[in-house]
Amino acid sequence: MHDRLFIPGPVEVRPELLQAIARPQVGHRTQAYMDVHAATIPMLKKILYTEQEVMFFTCSATGVMEGSIRNLCQKKVLNTVNGAFSKRWFKIAGFNGIPADALEVPMGQAVRPEAVDKALATGQYDVFCAVFNETSTGVRAPLEEYAEVLKKYPDVMFCVDAVSAMAGDKIETDKLGLDVCLAGTQKCWGLPTGLCVTMISNKAMKRAEQAKAPGYYVNFVDAKKSNDKHQTPHTPGIPILFGLHAQCEHILNVEGLDNRWKRHLDMQKLTHEWVKKAGFELFPEKGYESVTLSCIKKPEGFDFKTLNGQLSKRHHCIISNGYGDIKEQTFRIAHMADTTVSEMKTLFGWIDAILAEMKVPA
Ligand SMILES: *Cc1c(COP(=O)(O)O)cnc(C)c1O
């Protein structure tokens, strides 16, 4: 029996999706492939509220984090940094020889729009990178407020890592004026890892045409040329695409978009109530809590390892340790993808029973 994953990626995958993935392969230049590709893109557009370009790359999300700045930056990148993943995006710029500055705040906090405005007003930057849902700290960035600021800077590309939020927390990409919005399939999409779903604005496509060294693998211009023919430049993750197609149909036609957003908000509410009742405290500053995962402070002397070990042994499920610099100070519970409110209730019941035996927290 496998451990059901209540960790913020990879997540539990519904058996129906595993079935959709485990089907005979088709050649990626055949009509059968092009049919599933062509059927999936418009559904992705609906889920991302966009009429612009949507495509997918066969790599984990980090590949497109790198690709975005390579395709779009000609001057300098401004990165928000408030956790491990936003720090990663900033570091990626350095690894590619792309100039970048970090707008950094302590972990648990969100970078404020005023700070973004002040930095962009210097005119040094042509790309702004923000992580919407900082999976290491459970902080949700004020995307709508950033969007207001970015309206003043039409030449700055607004790139958003929505890895642990897309398909769980509603993101109206066109309305927000996003130029890139990316997420791997192993988080709120509820699939195995393998594809990175990416929205790219028409403005960003134009910018990419001028790129001097966009890179070969994640190349927006090449990818669009292929996408127009319902193909990809190289062999895609065909099994996951079958899964993504099935999941899009489920999201749009079985669950319904609004129900999916509401279910995630309901799971967040339940989790916050449980955190309080159990005597814990959330790590993020108030008002900036993630909808899809909760990062919780470890009380003094809290034996997380025993708790998680017992969850696995008795109930075949696990939650997650902290991540990055705050690994030892926090633990995390994901409430994303296809997890239900009632599954979360059951999980909290199990945790309460184990904690009662451990007598922690007091
Ligand atoms: C998981 C995660 C990533 C990294 O995704 P990979 O698919 O492992 O490359 C990046 N950003 C955020 C916010 C994440 O949660």
Q: Is 78 helix (H, G, I), strand (E, B) or coil?
A: strand
208 C-alpha to ligand 1 centroid (Å): 23
| More confident site: 245 or 361 | 245
Task: State how far the Cα of 11 lies from the Cα of 138, in Å rounded to an integer.
Answer: 16
The finding on whether 190 has its CB within 6 A of some atom of ligand 1 is no
Q: Which tens digit of pLDDT belongs to each residue from 163-187? A: 999 999 999 999 999 999 999 999 9
**HEC profile for 79-103?**
EEECCHHHHHHHHHHHHCCCCEEEE
CA of 320 to the centre of ligand 1 (A): 15
Residue 349 confidence (pLDDT)? 98
What is 229-245 written as a DSSP string?
TT--SS---HHHHHHHH
pLDDT band at 362 (very low <50, low <70, confident <90, very high): very low
Atom of ligand 1 nearest to the CA of 196: 7
Q: Is 61 in the pocket of ligand 1 (CB under 6 A)?
A: yes
What spacing in Å lies between the alpha carbon of 8 and ligand 1's midpoint?
Answer: 9
User: Cα separation of 39 and 190, whole Å?
Assistant: 19
> What values do phi and psi take at 118, rounded to 5?
-60, -45
| Mean of the per-residue pLDDT values of the chain | 97
Q: Summarize the confidence of residues 245-269 as an average pLDDT.
A: 98
- Which atom of ligand 1 sits closest to the CA of residue 135? 15
pLDDT of residue 359: 72
Q: Is the pLDDT of residue 82 over 60?
A: yes
pLDDT mean over 122-149? 98
* Residue 161 Cβ < 6 Å to ligand 1: yes
Please state, in angstroms and rounded to a whole number, the distance separating the CA atoms of residues 36 and 64.
Answer: 22
Q: What is the pTM of this model?
A: 0.97
Angle separating helix axes 61-72 and 220-228, nearest 10 degrees: 110
Which of 135, 196, 292 to probe ligand 1 with, by most ligand atoms within 8 A of CB? Answer: 135
Nearest to 89 by CA among 63, 61, 65: 65
Closest ligand 1 atom to residue 193 Cα is 7
Asked if 348 contacts 356 with a C-beta cutoff of 8 angstroms, the reply is no
Average pLDDT over residues 272-299: 98
Ligand 1 atom 14, closest CA: 163
183 lines ligand 1 (CB under 6 A): no
Tell me, in angstroms, the distance from the centre of ligand 1 to residue 354's CA. 30
Q: CA-CA distance, 11 to 332, in Å (whole number)?
A: 13
Question: What's the CA gap between 196 and 182, in Å, rounded?
Answer: 7
Reported residue count of the chain is 362
Task: Assess contact for 243 and 17: CB atoms under 8 A.
Answer: yes
Residue 360 has pLDDT above 60, yes or no: no
* 139, 140, 143, 161, best to mutate for ligand 1 pocket (most atoms within 8 Å of CB): 161
Predicted local distance difference test score (pLDDT) of residue 97: 98
Three-state secondary-structure class, residue 278: coil
- Span from the CA of 78 to the centroid of ligand 1 (angstroms): 19
Give percent of the chain with pLDDT exceeding 70: 99
- Nearest CA to 133 among 110, 102, 160, 165? 165
